[in-house]
Structure 1
Amino acid sequence: MHPPHHRTTPRLRTAPRLRTVRRLRTALAGAAAGLLVVGLAALPARAGSGTPATPGARTPLGTRAHTTGRAHFEPGPCPRTADPAPPIEGARCGTLTVPENRARHDGRTITLGVEIVPAATPRPAPDPIVWFAGGPGDDAVSEIQLALGGGLNSDRDVIFMSQRGTYSADPALTCPNIDHFNADALDLVYGAPSTGRLHVRQTRACRDALAGGGADLAAYDTTESAADYADLREALCIEQWNVFGISYGTDLALLYLREHPQGIRSVGIDGVLPPSLASGAVTWTAAREGFDGIFRACAQQSACNDRYPDLKAVFERLVGELEARPVTTTVTVPGHPDPVEVVLDGGVLVNWLTFASHLAAGVPRSIDELAHGNPQRIAEQWAGGKLSPQAVGRLSHGLAYGVFCREWTPFESEEDVIEAGRRAFPSFPDSVLANAPGLAWLHADCRAWDVPAAPSSVRDVTRSDIPSLVLSGGFDAQTAPSSGPYAARTLSRSTEVTVPYVAHVVFADSPCAQSITRSFFDTPTAPDTGCLAGLQPPEFEIAP
């Protein structure tokens, strides 16, 4: 796909090893303290103090079995979660059974885990919120604390359903061999062709295992997932609901809005990835915008600018130097008693900053230390992300590659990726530009995955007059601040908000974004955005 002429960039938190915000924050170690960053599980969950709807006021969602068309909802135990979590008081659970491939009337069925968290008020609004997880390949049920930490269930039930192939679905198309390879490859040169060949070998092994187990890999994509949610609404007998999608979940939400608009009261999207832009190539502009947001904020803060002048130029110089002469260092990662050898090249530095944008206050100091011969902070964070237990066995590579290889790579070339990178970062070597941030070796992986391209209509622009909230973060290096306005231009009743000084998925980190989101679902055509006026940039760490 050739880059779009309008604005630029997006993407979600993607790539075969893409993480939910919880994984991102726990993965990036706080190098100075030598500890993992506190994960989103530490955020307060409001559902625990809530109560179900008043008896007799209505039939609580998820308490009755129901069949609609070829889909069936069955109440039952709550789905498993990727992280240990106490039961949520009043939660109602079950499974939705749907066709694996709706084009095949004689094909097998799959089951998707469903958990309905009650509103914190005894008299909730009648229209619940359904949560669309990121990834592609993240598990919605494992993102419950992220949603509830922001009070999303303050006055509405919130519905979480595992997207097909994800951790709490059956089958779960996870391939821990890829996650283990990513950890084992810390001592390899990231951008070396030999590393790419090893990565593709693991991808092919994953594909062979899943296909050998009976999975129809071409049925794991955004179109089928959108149909699953349309079936869920009918199976739960919901007349009208609201949608909230994060990261890749915004791609899914926009396609769902286009293909299944019935019964949608409002749509919120955060960390926006429009289907018409989704590709490896556009991630380069996302990185450019997110990085520049951090560099500008430092330059505008006198203490940061005085201590770390020309931060942008220093970073770009280091990318070229490390690509020409990678640095090897040894670090200790919490939870791993043995020292870990880490190789830092230009590609690693770019990928590190993409995700370190969530810890922006420490970025200038980390870059400065690297420039002065100390790579420890960056190496510890990079290794911590790969070696974290939360990085292994929870992502659905089957769904991730289904989306990438059916909906992304058929509509772009490898040359498109390099050219997009060159426009965004003219000084970077081609060996760095060949691998888009977070998506190394994607085209080669997709050749190994070997699924047919989706119809080109999957990339159509979504046009709608359903009230929409479009949220972006000023430091978002994964889907880019500009992707929000791009999506909003064809959503005629949208409120478009860029929350400054926040990285990808602002709902996870910004109390202001959480307040705006809750306000939106209360009054979709007039959310309260007044909190934006008081936001301040982070106080960047200043080394002694």
Structure 2
Amino acid sequence: MALDRATSRRRRTVRLRAVRRLRAASAGVAAGALITGLLAMPAHAEHGTSTGTGAAIGTVGRTVGQARFVPGPCPKTADPVPALGKARCGTLTVPENRARRNSRTITLGVAVLRAATSTPKPDPVVWLAGGPGDDAVGEAQMAIDGGLNRDRDVILMSQRGTYAADPALTCPNIDEFNAGAVGLVYDAPSTGRLHVKATRTCREQLVSRGADLSAYNDTESAADYADLRKALGIGQWNVFGISYGTHLALIYMRQHPQGIRSVGIDGILPPSRAGSALTWSSARQGFDGLFKACARQPACNRRYPHLSATFDRLVRRLEAHPVTTTVTVPGRPGPVKVVLDGGALVNWMTSATHVAPGVPRSLDELDHGRPQRIAEQWAGGKLSPQAIGRTAHGLAYGVFCSEWVPYESRAEAIRGGRAAFPSFPRSVLAQAPQLTFLRPDCRVWNVPAAPRSIRKVTRSNIPTLALSGGFDSQTGAANGPYVARTLSRATVVTVPYEPHVVFATSRCAQEITTSFFNNPTAPKTACLTTLKPPRFETAP
């Protein structure tokens, strides 16, 4: 049944807000691997704008081991966040590298959103942001809008290196390279050399400021959250991670299970499988979900038959003969050159599942020599002033280069791509979606490999909600059943017709999530039976 116009408008508005919140960039100069969206988030610059001080958490600091929490003003955010207006805030100080006796300390911004009820449950929810490199505090409004604080306080802490942390390991030069790269062939060797040059410059800048790059990883971040719980004097809490935050959550519940009542993970990235091959598999799942939904909708199927074959053919065609066009981008004084090759199309599609209703029409227009719709979307987010300086590339590369790349060979990555997309040219398969040139980047980043144990599956009896979207092309829905195999009290839920991070876009997913934290062994999932596919656009 088609959505009425009001419902359709609401859905588009919700999706657009979610896209803006979750940003499109991920691994260094990549296009948004593990998080959502066609638009990037605003800059770190000089720590952005303050959103108000909120109320302090208590009146005195609290020290636990090497960590100390001090009440204070709310962390500054790149955008105004109304939800922080009544928050209680402060900072957590921790060692940068717990393995080094004389390590310097770093500070992480903390905000506690009050429960909506006057009689909140005693166990709050702690929010783990995506990325790697997103700042949780900047996502406070998403938590409020989704009703996560209905019955409980919600705690948000800036992961080490992110926007509201000190130091913040952001590198605007990488984002600026991304902006200019829309006019380059996406996976050309010459583009790769510039890509790695930007990564090297980032590394040199961070090291010159005294950063110990080997200390920005999941093991240290998990210990930060364990310290935060104790420093806030919380006996038991619940964990909710989105996108890369699920990767961190699975490691956190394995390394520091004490005090965790339940865990929700949305847009699941298993640490034991994380890497290029998994991104290819996820892309196939998300694309197929969208293509099949179009095929099952008579109007879409008549107008755009064999959509999957059309997409595969376009990737091959553009890789052999890239298309150059010009588009108008808001905020830019003149036309912007955009080059679309096969790799660019794959990466556009990985994010475009967030605006699924328009995808068939966009591909059809491209197939008939009109690339402007796709080119405008591809360039728009990267060229926005809001795309510069928000991502903590130091944390992103710290995770990728110590925990992923050492445990996946180039041949394994290529095989993963070939299994998912057997018709794609090798030049496309050489650069996994949103992880372009990651191996040479990691050679430049030069951090030691994490212990192999970081790749272990998480085995736990902590009640866990494993949420996925049927259109998720960034962390495929198959990851839910995969992690549940070793989580004895897991509930696996796939929300149909939704992209990456269903909590951001689906009222049903929000209802399931909040009911889970109230009853972790029996969340309410009846709303799934009421969901309908989007009405796909059909051009004359």
When normalised by structure 1's length, the TM-score is 0.90
Q: Deviations over 1:322-372 (max 9, x none)?
A: 000000000001222321000000000000000000000100000000000
Measure the CA separation in 2 of the matches of 1:70 and 1:325: 57
Task: State whether structure 2 residue 478 is matched by structure 1 residue 487.
Answer: no
CA-atom RMSD in angstroms: 1.9
1:67 aligned residue (56, 63, 68)? 63
Cα separation, partners in 2 of 1:62 and 1:439, compared to 1, 3 Å: farther
Measure the CA separation in 2 of the matches of 1:527 and 1:542: 37
Residue equivalent to 1:120: 116
Cα separation, partners in 2 of 1:485 and 1:62, compared to 1, 3 Å: farther
1:236 aligned residue (215, 222, 232)? 232
Instruction: Tell me by how many angstroms 1:413 deviates.
Output: 1.5
Instruction: Tell me by how many angstroms 1:222 deviates.
Output: 0.6
Instruction: Tell me by how many angstroms 1:196 deviates.
Output: 0.2
Instruction: Tell me by how many angstroms 1:105 deviates.
Output: 1.3
Cα separation, partners in 2 of 1:473 and 1:63, compared to 1, 3 Å: farther
Instruction: Tell me by how many angstroms 1:15 deviates.
Output: 2.2
Measure the CA separation in 1 of the matches of 2:477 and 2:290: 12
Measure the CA separation in 2 of the matches of 1:276 and 1:398: 22
Task: State whether structure 2 residue 154 is matched by structure 1 residue 158.
Answer: yes
Residue equivalent to 1:472: 468
2:27 aligned residue (15, 40, 43)? 15
Q: How does 1:191-270 map to 2 (within 5 A)?
A: 191-270=187-266
Measure the CA separation in 2 of the matches of 1:214 and 1:430: 40
Contact 2:33 2:433 in 1 (8 A): no
Contact 2:57 2:88 in 1 (8 A): yes
Match of 1:322, as an amino acid? L
Instruction: Tell me by how many angstroms 1:437 deviates.
Output: 0.3
Residue equivalent to 1:387: 383
Residue equivalent to 2:334: 338
Question: Secondary structure of 2:273's match?
Answer: coil
Measure the CA separation in 1 of the matches of 2:35 and 2:404: 25
Measure the CA separation in 2 of the matches of 1:443 and 1:25: 24
Instruction: Tell me by how many angstroms 1:388 deviates.
Output: 2.1
Instruction: Tell me by how many angstroms 1:64 deviates.
Output: 3.7
Cα separation, partners in 2 of 1:305 and 1:382, compared to 1, 3 Å: same
Match of 1:199, as an amino acid? H
1:440 aligned residue (436, 442, 459)? 436
Identical-pair percentage: 69
Cα separation, partners in 2 of 1:480 and 1:274, compared to 1, 3 Å: same
Q: How does 1:406-417 map to 2 (within 5 A)?
A: 406-417=402-413
Contact 2:71 2:90 in 1 (8 A): yes
Contact 2:26 2:35 in 1 (8 A): no
Measure the CA separation in 1 of the matches of 2:315 and 2:257: 45
1:347 aligned residue (343, 350, 373)? 343
Question: Secondary structure of 1:382's match?
Answer: helix
Contact 1:21 1:505 in 2 (8 A): no
Q: Which moved more, 1:401-410 or 1:416-425?
A: 416-425
Match of 2:382, as an amino acid? K
Match of 1:15, as an amino acid? A
Contact 2:282 2:474 in 1 (8 A): yes
Residue equivalent to 2:5: none
Question: Secondary structure of 1:416's match?
Answer: helix
When normalised by structure 2's length, the TM-score is 0.91
* Structure 1 alignment gaps of length 5 or more: 1-11, 29-47, 53-59
Q: Deviations over 1:294-325 (max 9, x none)?
A: 00000000000000000000000000000000
Residue equivalent to 1:95: 91
Q: Deviations over 1:472-518 (max 9, x none)?
A: 00000001010011011111111100000001000000000000000
Residue equivalent to 1:181: 177
Contact 1:221 1:403 in 2 (8 A): yes
Instruction: Tell me by how many angstroms 1:128 deviates.
Output: 0.4
Contact 1:242 1:264 in 2 (8 A): yes
Instruction: Tell me by how many angstroms 1:23 deviates.
Output: 6.9
Q: How does 1:302-313 map to 2 (within 5 A)?
A: 302-313=298-309
Instruction: Tell me by how many angstroms 1:20 deviates.
Output: 9.9
Contact 2:25 2:40 in 1 (8 A): no
Measure the CA separation in 2 of the matches of 1:274 and 1:250: 8
Residue equivalent to 1:135: 131
Residue equivalent to 2:75: 79
Match of 1:84, as an amino acid? P
Cα separation, partners in 2 of 1:345 and 1:188, compared to 1, 3 Å: same
Match of 1:182, as an amino acid? N
Contact 1:342 1:379 in 2 (8 A): yes
Q: Deviations over 1:69-123 (max 9, x none)?
A: 0000000110011222346343110000000000011110000000111011111
1:281 aligned residue (277, 284, 297)? 277
Question: Secondary structure of 2:375's match?
Answer: helix
Measure the CA separation in 1 of the matches of 2:178 and 2:38: 18
Task: State whether structure 2 residue 327 is matched by structure 1 residue 327.
Answer: no
Match of 2:75, as an amino acid? P
Contact 2:33 2:434 in 1 (8 A): no
Cα separation, partners in 2 of 1:438 and 1:113, compared to 1, 3 Å: same
Residue equivalent to 2:400: 404
Measure the CA separation in 2 of the matches of 1:98 and 1:148: 28
Measure the CA separation in 1 of the matches of 2:254 and 2:83: 35
Question: Secondary structure of 2:86's match?
Answer: coil
Cα separation, partners in 2 of 1:19 and 1:85, compared to 1, 3 Å: farther
Measure the CA separation in 2 of the matches of 1:62 and 1:280: 45
Contact 1:357 1:476 in 2 (8 A): yes
Measure the CA separation in 2 of the matches of 1:118 and 1:18: 34
Measure the CA separation in 2 of the matches of 1:540 and 1:322: 24
Measure the CA separation in 1 of the matches of 2:321 and 2:25: 29
Residue equivalent to 2:19: none
Cα separation, partners in 2 of 1:425 and 1:22, compared to 1, 3 Å: closer
Question: Secondary structure of 1:165's match?
Answer: coil
Measure the CA separation in 1 of the matches of 2:414 and 2:466: 29
Question: Secondary structure of 1:304's match?
Answer: helix
Instruction: Tell me by how many angstroms 1:62 deviates.
Output: 5.3
Q: Deviations over 1:7-62 (max 9, x none)?
A: xxxxx98422465999725459xxxxxxxxxxxxxxxxxxx9xx99xxxxxxx955
Task: State whether structure 2 residue 519 is matched by structure 1 residue 523.
Answer: yes
2:498 aligned residue (491, 498, 502)? 502
Question: Secondary structure of 1:131's match?
Answer: strand
Contact 1:18 1:135 in 2 (8 A): no
Q: Deviations over 1:156-211 (max 9, x none)?
A: 10000000000000000000000000101111101100000000001001001101
> How many residues get paired?
506
Measure the CA separation in 2 of the matches of 1:24 and 1:62: 37
Match of 1:366, as an amino acid? S
Measure the CA separation in 1 of the matches of 2:60 and 2:287: 49
Match of 1:420, as an amino acid? G
Match of 1:95, as an amino acid? T
Question: Secondary structure of 1:341's match?
Answer: strand
Residue equivalent to 2:365: 369
